[in-house]
Chain A
């Protein structure tokens, strides 16, 4: 039995004390322990930012890539080895600013992996600039007069992009978060969870207390909510102004990217070899 503690390595996270990201790391460990994923089968891929340091904190194959590009890297891994459990961790700047193009296409491509966005609505690692998720009027070093832009409505966007699993969670709600990550990892296709996580250093508006007061669980808003209905999901997000947690939308019908490709007997990794003489001959005959 692997305990949840064993999914953590010996490196001390350099997150600020009280950072919401600790809660997300613990939830990932909890789910991995529940699923008893062998360390070597777990690939945790991250981009750049506070959130993305997590790639170096879990005990598994961790890759800490470039800013905004964790998803393409992770998709390459998944294509090479479908047996791996691939989790991508990213922040709101990494995902929704520099990486938004990749996010949109990863959602429509629908590879079987889990995408967790640590959304603190501010840039932390670069010390307090505005993010695509900062609320209107939010004052930062780069918006001293208050943010004039509209924050990106990421959940409706994900649904519109064809994402087959869309959920939202709160980093300090350990039980709720673990249960959503479990459902995300069980989903066949691309699963996406936006996780609100308070930045104790640079965001003094969207604090722990603020989230506690403003976030509602989907079950309390709409008891017996069915995430299978796209129109209802969109309506829910509009009505709650996106401040709702739970699985918002899930599509079981659309096949995953892997299911649309010819079946693989084994991983591509195991097949770095010359083609058979027969296959090569067939390929060459076109040019003869």
Chain B
């Protein structure tokens, strides 16, 4: 039989029909088997009611996108057939529940199999078992053995008793048998080769970020629920007892950011997570953190704006708002993870940067990272050691009566020694007002300029403390350099595989440090590339505007923009790159 390296499975139906759990189980089992996976849930606003889909890409090599054509579609309702069958590839197979009597216009290139999903589920006692039946059918279709599924089902339903386990196994087996029987009538789909076993984890970008916070030693989070960032708080609340930490669900984002800052001021690693509208509320506090040099970490999982926009749709339109958030001159750090795995590592680096540079650090993730699940190599807790910068917690020289610690003293690198409440002889004043080196409010022009210069100077060395971008090859001289940030990485990398075959000298750079902008290290790549294509998911080319403000070669820059709420596809990048290359 034909073998495949890559298989895309999709399932759709009404919420509550088991669509999500079927995708979840399929993903978990295959992740354990060592396949590389990428999974995406979609809640489509163009479709009425509670329609939901889950897609899973199963591959032998690492994948970072959901891909572009579906091999196998499982439909629990007619809407799934109507809306998603065009995505099915030639010779792809649609399994539809015979119970809803699927309407299907026979075509030569795709096959629809109407199979008794509901009927089999009913036979074993409950409609809830539709997910098990569909799971069995999917496994049969893709040629997976039943044993790993059996193990998973037995484990998952163990607590509910032997009878429930047995019924679920039977529903799964009968689904499998029913699909196998039906497939005898049609041309084979091919099956996936066995993967090499590897130690991996299968998780959301939001979960990776939360785990990163724990690995970074953060034991305090304050947050307010918002799509698509809530999973970070929910995960933290679920596991915080394991590390004796505290999570507070606050009354609003104003409070969330200030509470995280209060904890950070007091020496814990406080952080918060939000999305655009919540981030707007936090920007007032960001300004205080800049002025009072408070190390707080804010994760902004970007979604489509402005305003409430499209809360469940991806966009990268908080780039400039994050950099310029707050009022007055900017004195902050903005970073963006380059993969779901990087959500884990970069979050840890963000906590280090916050304490090393004593300023707010904004982590710009996006919905595509936050709410998509991907298999990643097992996360290494020790790769990013904790660095607390110039924090002093004991043995400080005694202070004279009523004298303060020189908290904001002018130093060569602009970074001053820092103490926290509770530290003897470390008292200082913290204020959002301009202040002298002890924190006393001061408006003397000399003090003002000294303190402003100090706060700005300290950020000059940020670029040395973090890998400012990832780059596909070290080649600086290129016909075309493609630049992106956050979740466009997967689509651009897939596009590169196609483009490289065409012989053009082409490279891909994914920016991790957005502010302070790493101009010096980017310069050779920009300077020596004939053209630069900046790929971003917003309407006003925010990332390109930053590049144009730092590099004078404006005629080199091209834009690929997408702001329809869907993630940029590799094929779109390929098409645009070819057009730019001419």
Indicate which residue in B200, B263, B378, B426 contacts A268 across the interface (CB closer than 8 Å): B263
Indicate which residue in A55, A102, A265 contacts B255 across the interface (CB closer than 8 Å): A102
Residue of B258, B378, B423, B441 with most chain A CB atoms under a 10 A cut-off? B258
- Binary flags per residue of B239-268, CB closer than 8 Å to A gives 1, else 0: 101111110101110111011111111111
- With both chains docked as a complex, state the minimum distance between the C-beta of B369 and any C-beta of chain A, in angstroms: 15
- Binary flags per residue of A35-55, CB closer than 8 Å to B gives 1, else 0: 000111101010000000001
CA distance A261 to B379 in the complex (A): 29
Residue of B207, B262, B264, B441 with most chain A CB atoms under a 10 A cut-off? B262
- B266→A280 contact, CB < 8 A: no
Q: Does B91 contact A (CB under 8 A)?
A: no
Given A262-B241, A268-B219 in contact, is the A76-B263 Cβ separation under 8 Å? yes
CA distance A62 to B269 in the complex (A): 20
- Binary flags per residue of B31-42, CB closer than 8 Å to A gives 1, else 0: 110000000000
Given A66-B285, A75-B248 in contact, is the A56-B440 Cβ separation under 8 Å? yes
- With both chains docked as a complex, state the minimum distance between the C-beta of A143 and any C-beta of chain B, in angstroms: 27
CA distance A120 to B202 in the complex (A): 58
Binding stretch for chain B, among A24-32, A123-131, A214-222, A270-278? A270-278
- B214→A275 contact, CB < 8 A: yes
Q: Does B480 contact A (CB under 8 A)?
A: no
CA distance A41 to B425 in the complex (A): 11
- A269→B422 contact, CB < 8 A: yes
Q: Does A279 contact B (CB under 8 A)?
A: yes
CA distance A281 to B411 in the complex (A): 41
Closest to A66 in B: B288
Binding stretch for chain A, among B162-170, B306-314, B428-436, B486-494? B428-436
Given A269-B267, A272-B388 in contact, is the A101-B215 Cβ separation under 8 Å? no
- B386→A272 contact, CB < 8 A: yes
CA distance A91 to B32 in the complex (A): 58
Residues of B near A105 (CB, < 8 A) are: 250-251, 255
Closest to B391 in A: A272
CA distance A65 to B292 in the complex (A): 9
- A61→B428 contact, CB < 8 A: yes
Residues of B near A264 (CB, < 8 A) are: 244
CA distance A79 to B219 in the complex (A): 10
- B432→A73 contact, CB < 8 A: no
- A70-91 residues with Cβ-Cβ distance < 8 A to B are 71-81, 83-84
Given A77-B262, A274-B386, A279-B242 in contact, is the A66-B427 Cβ separation under 8 Å? no
- B242→A6 contact, CB < 8 A: no
Given A80-B270, A272-B388 in contact, is the A279-B441 Cβ separation under 8 Å? no
Indicate which residue in B222, B422, B425, B430 contacts A76 across the interface (CB closer than 8 Å): B222
CA distance A45 to B441 in the complex (A): 15
Indicate which residue in B262, B269, B381 contacts A272 across the interface (CB closer than 8 Å): B269
- B211→A40 contact, CB < 8 A: no
- With both chains docked as a complex, state the minimum distance between the C-beta of B380 and any C-beta of chain A, in angstroms: 10
- A76→B424 contact, CB < 8 A: no
CA distance A148 to B381 in the complex (A): 61
Indicate which residue in A72, A262, A271, A282 contacts B262 across the interface (CB closer than 8 Å): A72
Given A76-B270, A283-B242, A288-B201 in contact, is the A274-B427 Cβ separation under 8 Å? no
- A40→B222 contact, CB < 8 A: no
- A76→B264 contact, CB < 8 A: yes
Given A81-B266, A261-B246, A271-B219 in contact, is the A64-B430 Cβ separation under 8 Å? yes
Residues of B near A11 (CB, < 8 A) are: 440
Residues of B near A79 (CB, < 8 A) are: 220, 246, 248, 259, 262-263, 268
Q: Does A165 contact B (CB under 8 A)?
A: no
- A279→B243 contact, CB < 8 A: yes
- B424→A9 contact, CB < 8 A: no
- A80→B262 contact, CB < 8 A: yes
Q: Does A284 contact B (CB under 8 A)?
A: yes
Closest to A84 in B: B421
Q: Does B284 contact A (CB under 8 A)?
A: yes
- A106-140 residues with Cβ-Cβ distance < 8 A to B are 109
Closest to B431 in A: A64
- B259→A72 contact, CB < 8 A: yes
- B266→A275 contact, CB < 8 A: no
- A234-288 residues with Cβ-Cβ distance < 8 A to B are 261-262, 264-265, 267-269, 271-275, 277, 279-280, 282-284, 287-288
CA distance A68 to B430 in the complex (A): 16
- B243→A275 contact, CB < 8 A: yes
Q: Does B143 contact A (CB under 8 A)?
A: no
Q: Does A188 contact B (CB under 8 A)?
A: no
Residues of A near B200 (CB, < 8 A) are: 288
Residues of B near A101 (CB, < 8 A) are: 251-252, 254-255
Q: Does A167 contact B (CB under 8 A)?
A: no
Residues of A near B252 (CB, < 8 A) are: 101
Residues of B near A284 (CB, < 8 A) are: 201, 211, 378-379
Q: Does A159 contact B (CB under 8 A)?
A: no
Residues of A near B421 (CB, < 8 A) are: 40-41, 43, 61, 77, 81, 84
Q: Closest 5 interchain pairs by CB?
A: A76-B262, A269-B267, A80-B268, A72-B258, A80-B266
28 contacts between A and B (CB under 8 A): A8-B402, A40-B421, A40-B424, A40-B427, A43-B266, A55-B429, A59-B402, A60-B427, A63-B292, A63-B431, A66-B432, A69-B255, A69-B284, A72-B255, A76-B222, A76-B264, A80-B268, A267-B268, A268-B246, A268-B268, A269-B422, A271-B219, A274-B215, A275-B215, A284-B201, A287-B202, A288-B200, A288-B202
Point out residues on A near B: beta carbons under 8 Å: 6, 8-11, 38-41, 43, 45, 55-56, 59-66, 68-69, 71-81, 83-84, 101-102, 104-105, 109, 261-262, 264-265, 267-269, 271-275, 277, 279-280, 282-284, 287-288
Point out residues on B near A: beta carbons under 8 Å: 31-32, 200-203, 207, 211, 214-215, 217-220, 222, 239, 241-246, 248, 250-252, 254-256, 258-270, 284-285, 288, 292, 378-379, 381-382, 386, 388, 401-402, 404, 420-433, 439-441
Known: A64-B430, A75-B248. 9 other contacts (CB 8 A): A61-B421, A64-B431, A72-B259, A79-B220, A81-B267, A105-B251, A268-B220, A271-B219, A287-B202
